[in-house]
Amino acid sequence: MSKVLVSDTVDQAGIDILSQVATVDIKTGLKPEQLVEIIGEYDALMIRSGTRVTKEIIDAATQLKVIGRAGVGVDNVDVPAATRRGIVVVNSPEGNTIAAAEHALAMMLALSRHIPDANASVKRGAWDRNSFTGAEVYKKTLGIVGLGKIGSHVAAVAKTMGMKLLAYDPFISTERAEQIGCQLVELDLLFQQADYITLHIPKTPETTHLINAITLAKMKPTARIINCARGGIIEEKALAAAIKEGRIAGAALDVFESEPLGESDLRSLGKEVILTPHLGASTTEAQVNVAIDVAEQIRDVLLGLPARSAVNIPGLGPDVLEELKPYMQLAETLGNLVGQLAGGRVELLNVRMQGELATNKSQPLVVAALKGLLYQALRERVNYVNASIEAKERGIRVIETRDASVRDYAGSLHLEATGTLGTHSVTGALLGEREIHLTDVDGFPINVPPSKYMLFTLHRDMPGIIGKLGSLLGSFNVNIASMQVGRKIVRGDAVMALSIDDPLPDGILTEIIKVPGIRDAYTVTL
């Protein structure tokens, strides 16, 4: 019989499901060295946020088939190490959706009516009604940043409360936003017009300190901000200063840059600020939901069935997976790349399998391409199981084609993304020891392996332009690891692909486009 180790406290409903197919050992509070010592005995590991599953632990897990995280994030699991060992990592991306949405709504209402401070006042024996005059949310404008499952539920409830809904989400279509009841607008307009702003986005390099001194200055003095998403999206010192100086009306925060919250200017503020200790998923129902969801997936994997929310390995038979795994990585890389080149909201993705690849199953490659395409928006929340659903909800149309006549390489994959900012395309193949190579960008032939940080330019093929760009990058202390130019005709248009050691500093793209002959420039982080 299989053995499952539960190393964090989870609801009994999950334990009961696991007990149907396995012997379950509950051992919480283990130190890393203790977990390394015993993990080799187990076929499955169920955790929450308390256990950190490192590469050392995974390397010692000689029998482990699945790691289940009873929650959304898998930051405490070394997913690449698990993938290399063939261990499925599953999570519960929807188990706490309602809990998080309801907490955001509760925070909005509590902030509007000063409920925490009024409660504390009465308990002290006072009866001070005048100090707690609040504001109604009815007919007010709610700006929702991020229209995923949580943001969409907030929108549905707020609409029934009579609120006007504005939304910003560059990865969702206008039609989908209208179905939810929101008017899709640019972020600056949302900041300017919203009476309440609620955040439902992941923390990424692009969203870190999205709310800062500059964006706060665009808001109404009556605006109130709610963040039950991720700490770090708000620059907390700037927020505290804006509230203290009366430049915005208040904020309700459940998440913080550093948790537990230590010394903070926010603590000293009065009824204009509500702070809670990361309670978004802390409901009895949510804890039951995530425990059941993850336990069912662990049970299925142990029975040889696919997991519905696998973070790393798609639900494919081992024979198909073994054959297509390298091409799925190719598809995911190309999807991530073309999504960043296209920018904005992608409305159409054309996936064309070429050469020998045209004879393979297409769906796994399409799913992998969509996973890559959506990664910048959803990060760890997108996986091979939900990528197609997430794309459909965002109004992304997918076209699959095959062309066995293309014989430049044994098999290649061509992706073309059309969005609000135009159309871009990339082609890639597996060369040598199945190493991923980019073979075409926007119709220009190249041959370069992708790297973590890349810069692409569209320019005229003319003497001196490479030197000028190199000098400009050097003046910003940017080191070039490799560079290649792709062109169709001499002195015509060309594409330059550069691998660089570090992200480009702010403002440098503007300077690059000023170089005579360079028409456009794009940065990509893979």
pLDDT at 514: 93
pLDDT single digits (tens) 118-127: 999 999 999 9
Which one of the listed residues 114, 230, 352, 424 is annotated catalytic? 230
Active site residue 230: yes
Q: Could you tell me which residue, 490 or 306, shows the higher pLDDT?
A: 490
**Residue 315 above 60 pLDDT?**
no
Q: Could you tell me which residue, 142 or 344, shows the higher pLDDT?
A: 142
Q: Strand pairing partners for 401?
A: 352
Which one of the listed residues 85, 278, 308, 402 is annotated catalytic? 278
**Residue 314 above 80 pLDDT?**
no
Q: Could you tell me which residue, 388 or 127, shows the higher pLDDT?
A: 127
Q: Which domains does the chain have, with CATH numbers?
A: 2-95+286-312 (3.40.50.720), 97-275 (3.40.50.720), 314-450 (3.30.1330.90), 451-526 (3.30.70.260)
Q: How far is CA 401 from CA 43, 351, 414, 424, 471, in A?
A: 40, 6, 10, 17, 42
pLDDT at 448: 95
Q: Could you tell me which residue, 503 or 317, shows the higher pLDDT?
A: 503
Q: Which residues contact 29 (CB under 8 A, 6 or more apart)?
A: 50
Q: Report which secondary-structure segment, H or E, holds 522.
A: strand 518-525
**What is the C-alpha to C-alpha distance for residues 331 and 370, in angstroms, rounded to an integer?**
8
Which one of the listed residues 206, 259, 285, 322 is annotated catalytic? 259
Structure tokens at 290: 């995530």
Q: Specify whether the CB–CB gap between 456 and 441 falls below 8 A.
A: yes
pLDDT single digits (tens) 45-62: 999 988 999 999 999 999
Q: Report which secondary-structure segment, H or E, holds 256.
A: none
pLDDT at 202: 86
Q: Which residues contact 351 (CB under 8 A, 6 or more apart)?
A: 331, 362, 365, 366, 369, 398, 399, 400, 401, 413, 414, 415
Structure tokens at 215: 């964006």
Q: Strand pairing partners for 456?
A: 497, 522
Q: Specify whether the CB–CB gap between 64 and 41 falls below 8 A.
A: no
**What is the C-alpha to C-alpha distance for residues 178 and 158, in angstroms, rounded to an integer?**
14
Active site residue 259: yes
With a pLDDT cut of 90, the percent of the chain lying above it is 77
**What is the C-alpha to C-alpha distance for residues 337 and 388, in angstroms, rounded to an integer?**
18
pLDDT at 507: 87
Beta strands in 314-380 (DSSP E): 346-355
Q: How many residues does the chain have?
A: 526
Positive or negative CA dihedral for 403, 407, 412, 413? negative
pLDDT at 111: 98
pTM of the shown model: 0.77
pLDDT at 385: 62
Active site residue 113: no
What's the mean pLDDT when you consider all of the chain?
A: 92
For 231-235, what is the mean pLDDT?
96
**What is the C-alpha to C-alpha distance for residues 163 and 178, in angstroms, rounded to an integer?**
15
**What is the C-alpha to C-alpha distance for residues 469 and 84, in angstroms, rounded to an integer?**
39
pLDDT at 87: 87
Helix axes 97-113, 284-302, angle to 10 degrees: 160
pLDDT single digits (tens) 170-181: 888 899 999 999
**Residue 318 above 70 pLDDT?**
no
Q: Specify whether the CB–CB gap between 170 and 377 falls below 8 A.
A: yes
